[in-house]
Amino acid sequence: MIQLENHAKESVKTLAAAFGTDDAEQVEQALAATFEDYRNDIAEELATKYRQAAGDSAALAARGFRQLTAEETRYYERFIDAMKSPNPRQAFITMADSDDAALPTTVIEDVLGKIRTEHPLLAAVKMVNTQTITKWVKAKHPEQMASWGELDSAVTKEITGAFEVVDLGQGKLSCFAVLSIDMLELGPTFVDAYVREALAEAMALALEKGVVDGSGVNGEPIGMMRKVAAGVSVNTTTGYPAKTVERVTDFGPAAYGALVAKLVKDEEGRLKPAGALSSLTMVCNTVDYLTKVMPATTVLATNGGYVNGLFPVPTKVICSEAVPEGKAVLGLMDEYSLFVGGNRGLQYSDEYKFLEDQRTFKMVQYANGKADDDTSFVVLDVSKLDPAYITVKTKADGASAGA
């Protein structure tokens, strides 16, 4: 991972101070400065690593630089030429009109692999790379699609209703990145590493937020914390309504079993496959894990050591800062699909003004996500969660062994 250098760290401090002033203009300026410094850090660190290993393919690979395919090399060569052009906007328009305007799918596959490795939540959901496809047909309940009996219109209607079309074009991840014109001289391998690093950071943060609590409007996925039941009313501004929060004070067998039981039947009351609970996961932020969830699932054993992760039903815990404090999401990760589709490639933008020796480009990636069913996830209030303790049950005085 890229490490923040001193000037980016100072920008973060300035941003924190700006948030304390409640001055919207000052916050906006601090955000822009932080963004620029962070992108510059990425470029500078990668450039240093590249120069140290230039010409040595093994050393480049060891420092995170990929051996580019012929398609990737051609694409980045065209991108570099466009960035160097006296009229970059027109050069990018010409590039966009070509048949291979989008980023090669191999780049996106590598980015998806990176964010799945570094972000456990995104690794847990069903992430599908649809490549250049912008619409995806998915089965809602594949285990319910077959039935005995004569084929008639009712069965045909049931089968048709078991599919839905996910429009990836409605969800677009966009981010801006700044690159010094001098650094373009380092060539396609360096530009590829910079683009992948910037794209991975932007995609990971946005996707994780969308997966947890995306509104479902304004291009966002529908998050796990939102209702997706058939016929639910969707507000054009605030999106899908939030799920009702279940307050929990302990994870004892009775309480926890009741929560998990809400996940084992679909909206129509049909039992899900026996293996559905294999992906049972709780998602919470790090603070709540350390102060609420961990104490509620950890006990001191008789041998003097602590035993943790003691859920009555086997459950994996994932920390994500996208979950607000005091809440947690419990659900079946195999029932959330995150689709990452085609992209518009790298585009020149003049949305932000920088020094003459820097150019700004924009990356747009199509994506969308949604839970299979409204019963796939429940939202918990863990703010009053009690620590776990060992219960000792004694036999009443005078009771016989056979009583």
Q: How confident is the model over 82-94, as pLDDT tens digits?
A: 888 888 878 887 8
3-state secondary structure of 262: coil
pLDDT above 90 as % of the chain: 31
| 258 is a domain residue | yes
| 331 is a domain residue | yes
What is the C-alpha to C-alpha distance for residues 162 and 142, in angstroms, rounded to an integer?
7
Q: Are 277 and 313 in contact (CB under 8 A)?
A: yes
Range 381-400 average pLDDT: 76
| 42 is a domain residue | no
Burial of 265: CB neighbours in 10 Å, binned 0-12, 13-18, 19+ = middle
Q: Which DSSP category does 63 fall into?
A: T
Range 56-62 average pLDDT: 61
| 268 is a domain residue | yes
| 352 is a domain residue | no
Burial of 220: CB neighbours in 10 Å, binned 0-12, 13-18, 19+ = buried
What is the C-alpha to C-alpha distance for residues 190 and 183, in angstroms, rounded to an integer?
8
| 37 is a domain residue | no
Give me the domain span that covers residue 323.
245-336+376-381
Q: Which DSSP category does 5 fall into?
A: -
pLDDT score for 352: 60
pLDDT score for 375: 96
| 319 is a domain residue | yes
Q: Please, which residues have CB within 8 angstroms of residue 273's CB and are 6 or more apart in sequence? A: 143
Given a cut of 80, whether residue 296 has pLDDT beyond it is yes
Q: What is the pLDDT of residues 41-58, one digit of tens each?
A: 666 666 666 665 555 566
If we measure between CA atoms, which residue out of 285, 295, 263, 256 comes closest to residue 385?
A: 295
Domain containing residue 299: CATH number: 3.30.2320
Please state the domain count of the chain.
1
Q: Which DSSP category does 357 fall into?
A: T
User: Quick one: pLDDT band at residue 155, thresholds 50, 70, 90?
Assistant: very low
Range 109-138 average pLDDT: 78
| 304 is a domain residue | yes
71 or 24: whose pLDDT is higher?
71
pLDDT score for 4: 44
Q: What is the pLDDT of residues 4-38, one digit of tens each?
A: 445 555 665 675 666 566 666 776 676 666 656 66
pTM of the model: 0.71
Given a cut of 90, whether residue 114 has pLDDT beyond it is no
Burial of 304: CB neighbours in 10 Å, binned 0-12, 13-18, 19+ = exposed
What is the C-alpha to C-alpha distance for residues 248 and 224, in angstroms, rounded to an integer?
18
